Amino acid sequence: MIYMDNAATTRTAPEVVQAMMPYFSEHYGNPSAIYSLGSSNRKAINEARRTVASFLGAKQEEIYFTAGGSEADNWALKAVAEAYAGRGKHIITTKIEHHAVLHSCEYLEKQGFEVTYLGVDRDGLVDLGELEAAIRPDTILISVMFANNEIGTIEPIGGIGDIARKHGILFHTDAVQAFGHLPIDVEELHIDLLSASGHKFNGPKGTGVLYIRTGVKAGSLIHGGAQERNRRAGTENVPGIVGLGAAVARAAATMEERAAKETAVRDYLIGRIEAEIPYCRLNGHRTKRLPGNVNFSFQFVEGESVLIMLDMKGICGSSGSACTSGSLDPSHVLLATGLKHEEAHGSLRLSLSEENTVEEADIVVEELKGILTKLRNMSPLYEDFLKGRN
Amino acid sequence: MYSEKVMDHFQNPRNMGEIEDPSGVGTVGNAKCGDIMRMFLKIDENGVIREAKFKTFGCGAAVATSSMATELVKGKTVQEALQVTNRAVMEALDGLPPEKVHCSLLAEEAIHAALWDYAERNGIAIPACNEPGQCS
């Protein structure tokens, strides 16, 4: 099997699983308990918290553990909106955010907030001038993702942080795809809130982080207990948090090496596809791009068909076609970059890990060539194109 | 997600291709929705469908329903072919996931669209044959 869907989820690293194991059946105590079986687990949690904090250039008490990236995004947006509603009810975000941010914004709109959804250019980049022009006296929050999950484009986070700081507006970034893969320093980048997810960098599923800068007012999303300094109720997922900590430690130690390997295979794959497969377009920015992201639109074919045929050859990828999104519309991200519906339906994302090799890339390109020939021969759009019809 | 029959018709589509000199051709769906089906029919002087072929842009279910629809109309009279409903196509494929039911509707529409074209070309009216619509 060739696994190239690491933006969906990654394999939990063996050392992460190993670190977690004792916390299921041996050290199973509740961290809030007085006796040492429980209270010693508090140390394990804080150890993980220190690891995450140091990775982000943050303070330990600014790190909160959640049940994943979606919870962190929901929490950041809803809690900040609620806490700062007295100052203003305007939020700025982009059209290419993950649905955890977009749907939270839609929810807030129903609560009386106004949201500006910034467009992006052909490569998926937000324009800083446009962002600054969108700021109003009642703007309380800017939320822009660190890197896009579909097309891999890395946004100008430092520039956005500067603008937010200059105007005294809070800045949240959904760093789910970037965290563990790119260096992030919340001080340098002027980030006030940041969401991350454990399973996107070889940690366990169902674990996440919200960084909240000291001084930022943000209440709870989950009520019912004093855990996480009164801000996130619920008995701590001790094995998950320990696993997340181990995954961050691993990511920090291997980031440069992994990024170099992935970038090499990524650019090789992009180069071969562009050279050997006609009627394709690379989606996302060519260089301001996550190390492991490859995303192409192939004309005249539909993405789900490509995915099923790749699966039959043992290759795992994903698509922004409507058929894979469960709705009638294809990916909102691809449409925001100016793609026509049919081009968005024909998209394929291959997201790499450091385990993917050039040899695997060669196999994928060869299989893809055969699959696209077969599907294009079947396609009335291709027939019309060849006959010069529309 | 898909039944074995759907997977079989997707991997080994029956009657994929074009008919050089068709009696009727119908194209339904649109690229915006992500499905386009084109059906070609060869109908003899007795009104029997001798050959049916298709070309489809779409997901696995779209290809499989096109393939099955051509199989089901082959050898039938024009009137019998109109009885090939989306339900019949779905049943022949051992069912479709709920979000893919529209693909079977598209297959039914493709049959109707090809027969409509046949009727137009021959200046005849086929009762119960609907003029092809847009994306369903």
Instruction: Read off the pLDDT of residues A32-41 as tens digits, 9 standing for 90 and up.
Output: 999 999 999 9
In the Cβ-directed half-sphere of A231, how many Cα atoms lie within 13 Å? Answer: 23
Band (B132; pLDDT cuts 50, 70, 90): confident
Q: What is the pLDDT of residue B136?
A: 42
Residue A78 predicted with pLDDT over 80: yes
Q: A94: which 2 tokens?
A: 């982009």
Whether residue B18 contacts residue B73, with contact meaning beta carbons closer than 8 Å, is answered with no
3-class DSSP assignment, residue A116: strand
B131 domain-assigned: no
Whether residue A188 contacts residue A57, with contact meaning beta carbons closer than 8 Å, is answered with yes
ipTM rounded to 2 decimals? 0.93
- Which of A312, A382, A383 lies nearest to residue B11, judging by beta carbons? A312
- Which of B36, B37, B60 lies nearest to residue A308, judging by beta carbons? B60
Distance to chain B for A22, nearest Cα, Å: 37
Distance CA A47, CA A248 (A): 12
Q: What is the pLDDT of residue B134?
A: 47
Distance to chain B for A311, nearest Cα, Å: 12
Percent of chain B residues past pLDDT 90, beyond the cut: 82
The answer to whether B38 contacts A326, with C-beta atoms less than 8 Å apart, is no
| Count of domains observed in chain B | 1
3-class DSSP assignment, residue B54: strand
Q: List the single residue in A with minimal CA-CA distance to B31.
A: A342
CA distances from A344 to A145, A271, A319, B37 (A): 21, 21, 9, 18
B62 to chain A, any CB pair closer than 8 A? The answer is: yes
Q: List the single residue in A with minimal CA-CA distance to B2.
A: A308
Q: Which residues of B touch A380 (CB under 8 A)?
A: 27, 36-38, 55-57
Residue A390 predicted with pLDDT over 90: no
* Residue pLDDT, tens place only, A277-287: 999 999 999 99
B134 domain-assigned: no
Sign of CA dihedral A68, A70, A71, A75: positive
B114 domain-assigned: yes
Band (B33; pLDDT cuts 50, 70, 90): confident
CA distances from A53 to A47, A143, A233, A245, A299 (A): 10, 21, 20, 10, 45
Whether residue A112 contacts residue A138, with contact meaning beta carbons closer than 8 Å, is answered with no
- Length, in residues, of chain B: 136
Q: Which residues of B touch A335 (CB under 8 A)?
A: none
Tokens 């169902």 map to which residue? A206
Residue A240 predicted with pLDDT over 90: yes
> Residues 303 to 332 of A: which have CB under 8 A from any B CB?
304-305, 308, 312, 321-323, 326, 328, 330
Q: Which residues of B touch A302 (CB under 8 A)?
A: 34-35, 57-59, 62
Q: What is the pLDDT of residue A325?
A: 58
Q: A1: which 2 tokens?
A: 């099997």
User: Containing H/E element for A291?
Assistant: none
A14-251 classified as CATH 3.30.310.160:
no
Band (B1; pLDDT cuts 50, 70, 90): confident
A133 to chain B, any CB pair closer than 8 A? The answer is: no
* Residue pLDDT, tens place only, A138-181: 999 999 999 999 999 999 999 999 999 999 999 999 999 999 99
Q: What is the pLDDT of residue A136?
A: 98
CATH number, position B96: 3.90.1010.10
The answer to whether B34 contacts A345, with C-beta atoms less than 8 Å apart, is yes
Burial of A250 (C-beta count, 10 Å sphere; 0-12/13-18/19+): buried
| Topology agreement, domain A14-251 and domain A255-386 | no
* Residue pLDDT, tens place only, A286-329: 999 999 999 999 999 999 999 999 999 999 999 988 666 556 67
Nearest CA among B61, B63, B73 for reference residue B102: B61
DSSP structural state of residue A87: T
The domain segmentation of chain A, as residue ranges, is 14-251, 255-386
Distance CA A288, CA A282 (A): 13
**Mean pLDDT score of chain A:** 96
Residues of A carrying an active site annotation: 323
In chain A, helix, strand, coil percent, each to 5?
45, 15, 40
> Residues 75 to 94 of B: which have CB under 8 A from any A CB?
none
Nearest CA among A291, A180, A183, A182 for reference residue A244: A180
In the Cβ-directed half-sphere of B81, how many Cα atoms lie within 13 Å? Answer: 33
In the Cβ-directed half-sphere of B35, how many Cα atoms lie within 13 Å? Answer: 27
- Which of B13, B33, B99 lies nearest to residue A378, judging by beta carbons? B13
B132 domain-assigned: no
Q: What is the pLDDT of residue A328?
A: 66
The answer to whether B55 contacts A378, with C-beta atoms less than 8 Å apart, is yes
Q: List the single residue in A with minimal CA-CA distance to B53.
A: A378
CATH code of A255-386, in short, is: 3.90.1150.10
- Which of B34, B63, B99 lies nearest to residue A378, judging by beta carbons? B63
Whether residue B100 contacts residue B47, with contact meaning beta carbons closer than 8 Å, is answered with no
* Residue pLDDT, tens place only, A80-135: 999 999 999 999 999 999 999 999 999 999 999 999 999 999 999 999 999 999 99
